Structure 1
Amino acid sequence: NETFEVELAIAMQSQTIKHMIDDNCADETGIIMAKVIEYCKKHVDAASVEEKPSDEDLTKFDEDFVKVDQANLFDLILAANYLDIKDLLDLT
């Protein structure tokens, strides 16, 4: 079991996580959940006025993000779907 501490804005990227917090029913592996959180954090930071990266930087991040083996990509797709993170699902 792993615990991830993230800012509320990052967790709120997923409607499902909002409900899962109370239910404690997350069923994703630690590695995949860490990747999902990394993706959400990058996109929350991109929307921030203070830390806004260029569109090119965000596109590069997204391209690199999905450069994983097929099994992990499949797990990312399942997690994005389960956690209702539309942008991540579209990317994968």
Structure 2
Amino acid sequence: MEGKVILSSSDGQVFEVDMKVAMISQTLSNMLKDTEDTGSETAPIKLANVSSRIFNLIIEYGKYHVEAQKSDTSEPTADLKKRVRELVADDKDTFFQLMIAANFLHIQSLLDLSYQIVAEDIAACKDQQMIRQKYNIENDYSPEEEEEVLKLHNIFE
């Protein structure tokens, strides 16, 4: 498939996206195949669960992904992971919205990279307090419960 596809975000912004970029999404790939089969390619495909802000990030990732596939880079995954980190910087809310959109759009490569980033971030934390702080997780354990869980699982020793 060559050319462009017209997509609409949940907030009504319309995007003209290169077909190769759109095809990294299994959801879009299936939708495009369906519209190709029925011959109804004129209306924009509405992405009800993806805002324009997040869809812009998805498009940027898609462009990086397509370029990485074309390049001779020996470490395309490392480069893509670096690019994803750059896209969301330290904004965890945006990062998790990007993950949710990647899940909705079935962009497995972006999901895998996102999981790696979260795993690396958690592994870099020295204790559960750092994890809670980094991901804004409320501690709902009493001090006694927390001590018991730490003894039982010996996670941070």
TM-score, normalised relative to structure 1:
0.78
Classify 1:82/1:34 alpha carbon distance in 2 versus 1 (closer, same or farther; 3 Å). Answer: same
Q: % of aligned pairs identical?
A: 37
| 8 A Cα contact 2:54 2:94, kept in partner | yes
Which sections of structure 1, spanning at least 5 residues, go unmatched? none
| 8 A Cα contact 2:13 2:52, kept in partner | yes
SS in 2 for 1:62: helix
Given the alignment, which residue of 111, 124, 138 partners 1:89? 111
Relative to its length, the structure with more strand (as a share) is: 2
Classify 1:4/1:42 alpha carbon distance in 2 versus 1 (closer, same or farther; 3 Å). Answer: same
Aligned-residue CA RMSD (Å): 2.2
Instruction: State the distance in 1 between where 2:62 and 2:25 align.
Output: 9
- Please name the residue that 2:13 is paired with: 2
Write out per-residue CA displacement over residues 47-91 of structure 1, whole angstroms, 9 at most, x where no aligned residue. 12xxx2743644432332342412111211110000000111112
- Please name the residue that 1:44 is paired with: 66
SS in 1 for 2:86: helix
- Please name the residue that 2:102 is paired with: 80
Instruction: State the distance in 1 between where 2:46 and 2:15 align.
Output: 14
Between 1 and 2, higher relative CO (CA 8 Å, sep ≥ 6) is seen in 1
- Please name the residue that 1:64 is paired with: 86
Q: CA deviation at 1:39?
A: 0.2
